[in-house]
Amino acid sequence: MRDRPSGTKINQPDPHVRRILERAELEGIELIRFLYADHGGVIRGKAASRSRLAERLRTGIGHTVAMMAMNMLDQLQEVEHMSPVGEVRIVPDPATYVPLPHAPGAAAMLSDLCLPDGTPWDACARTFLKNAVAELASENYTLQAAFEPEFTLGRRLPDPSGGPDRLVPLDDALCYANAGFDTAHDYTIKLMRALETQGLRVEHYHPELGPGQQELSIRHAPALRAADNHVLYRETVRGVAMRMSMWATLAPKPLADQSGNGAHLHLSLWRDSQNVFGEDDEIRAAFIGGLIAHLPALTALTCGSVNSFRRLSPRSWSSAYAVYGPDNREAAVRVCSPLGESGEPNLELKPSDSSANPYLSLGAVIHAGLDGIRRKLDPGEPVDVDPDTRPGRYPRLPASLPEALDALEADEVLMEALGPLRRNAYLTVKRSEAAAFAGRDVSYELFNHLRVF
């Protein structure tokens, strides 16, 4: 018998795996959800039992390739290589295990979609973001990011006239009004605790504009972690509400005549522990140039649903024009002034909401910014007025999902970055959603977005 090479470990599980198994037992976890985000922007997954967890951490859970051809109405689309024949694995990232305080007995792990041989599948959204981060690293940059989500809190009531259920907002408190802190207090404290338990660091909270609207922001993190955080955030906002017999939605425009829910994307670029956006005006300008140049196409990924485009209207602080400006809340890219001396300069992308797949959205933003840096794209003059007060002067963002998808299809940089399988599936799934809502009444669109997002 040959000697084992020194240092080889037999029956010594990966320390991550050992830690997860120990934690799951200690925390009384029975089910561990392996979660991923699909082309419809929906968070889906399968759960492993604790007794089978050790093995499933290694093998993942089997899944049909066809699920990445499903739209947000659970209508399966015909996409090449995503037929009912073919298998992938939902493979959890061991660094992402978190217990879910709003679902006692359950934990979650953010997951990749891999081929049975363990290599990442070309349609895995999380891998798309990882690759974008690697591309950035090849130029010696890293990106810190944070989604700044808004949501609407209320109750779900049947429609007396037999239509879709209605979201009845929790309150009619005014924007930032102290009274709003009180009406939403019990929920907010539970939400904060649930988020902090999952390792998300809460920055700020306030009652927002419009009935039941809330905003609770999360501290920035490296790009992949920021997207993982946003998945957990979305599910926790809704899960905590459900446990309290309430209904919460992050849909971009759940109530047609009220303020929309954004998920503005805050970005800072780093090199050698320096925030490049604070140190190098040229690089910052080129990154903005990349965002502005790709904005029409980007919105197809950052504002991923039919309902998204109802939100992008002028005078809503959600942005309707493809311009940038210092602390300009009507510009698509706001150059944020830092908070205090230790504050970090960052960019805020306003055409971004929680119906997007956060991995595709953030990955595409990285590719756009990087393209700006590589080609030294000029962002033009900053805009220091509300662009809507200068009719015809500034370019509008796409007005609908089909318009944004056409722009995406025409954008060589983003189409190349997405790759053939993913771009074909994304365009097909999203066009099917646009078709499914076309010609239907507004209440059908609102209900379906608020129940999913």
Q: How far is CA 445 from CA 97, 303, 306, 435, 441, in A?
A: 34, 15, 8, 12, 7
Residue 446: burial class (beta carbons within 10 Å; 0-12, 13-18, 19+) = buried
Angle at 214 (CA atoms; ends 210, 220), nearest 5 degrees: 135
Which long-range contacts link 47-56 to residues 24+ away (Cβ below 8 Å)? 47/106, 50/24, 50/25, 53/20, 53/21, 53/24, 54/13, 54/17, 54/21, 56/32, 56/92
Taking CB under 6 A as the rule, does residue 311 contact ligand GLU?
yes
Taking CB under 6 A as the rule, does residue 211 contact ligand GLU?
no
The tokens describing 417, both together, are: 């970055």
- Torsion of Cα atoms, 279 then 282 then 287 then 290, to 10°: 180
The tokens describing 420, both together, are: 């053939």
**Between residues 262 and 369, which has the closer beta carbon with respect to ligand GLU?**
262
Closest CB to Mg ion belongs to which residue? 215
CA pair distance 36, 65, nearest whole angstrom? 13
CA pair distance 363, 414, nearest whole angstrom? 10
Taking CB under 6 A as the rule, does residue 317 contact ligand GLU?
yes
Q: Which of 152, 198, 259, 275 binds ligand GLU (CB under 6 A)?
A: 259
Stretch that binds ligand GLU, among 81-89, 276-284, 310-318, 373-381 (CB under 6 A): 310-318
CA pair distance 227, 9, nearest whole angstrom? 34
Q: Which of residues 323-342 bind ligand GLU (CB under 6 A)?
A: 329
The DSSP output letter for 140 is T
Cβ atoms of residues 449 and 355 within 8 Å? yes
**Between residues 259 and 305, which has the closer beta carbon with respect to Mg ion?**
259
Q: Which of 92, 99, 239, 262 binds ligand GLU (CB under 6 A)?
A: 262
Binding-site partner at residue 363 among ligand GLU, Mg ion, none, CB < 5 to 8 Å by type = none
Q: Which of 71, 198, 268, 318 binds ligand GLU (CB under 6 A)?
A: 318
Amino acid at 446: L
We find the least distance from the C-beta atom of residue 303 to ligand GLU, in angstroms, to be 10
Residues contributing to the site for Mg ion (CB under 5 A): 215
Q: How far is CA 51 from CA 14, 32, 219, in A?
A: 17, 10, 35
Q: Which of residues 111-140 bind ligand GLU (CB under 6 A)?
A: none
**Between residues 317 and 444, which has the closer beta carbon with respect to Mg ion?**
317
**Between residues 329 and 431, which has the closer beta carbon with respect to ligand GLU?**
329
Q: Which of residues 31-70 bind ligand GLU (CB under 6 A)?
A: none
**Between residues 260 and 387, which has the closer beta carbon with respect to ligand GLU?**
260
Binding-site partner at residue 325 among ligand GLU, Mg ion, none, CB < 5 to 8 Å by type = none
The DSSP output letter for 396 is B
**Between residues 197 and 313, which has the closer beta carbon with respect to ligand GLU?**
313
Stretch that binds ligand GLU, among 108-116, 241-249, 311-319, 375-383 (CB under 6 A): 311-319
Binding-site partner at residue 352 among Mg ion, ligand GLU, none, CB < 5 to 8 Å by type = none
Largest CA distance in the chain: 83
Partner residues linked to 336 by β-bridges: 346
Taking CB under 6 A as the rule, does residue 260 contact ligand GLU?
yes
CA pair distance 194, 78, nearest whole angstrom? 39
We find the least distance from the C-beta atom of residue 409 to ligand GLU, in angstroms, to be 26
Binding-site partner at residue 112 among ligand GLU, Mg ion, none, CB < 5 to 8 Å by type = none
List of residues contacting ligand GLU (CB under 6 A): 150, 259-260, 262, 311, 316-318, 329, 350
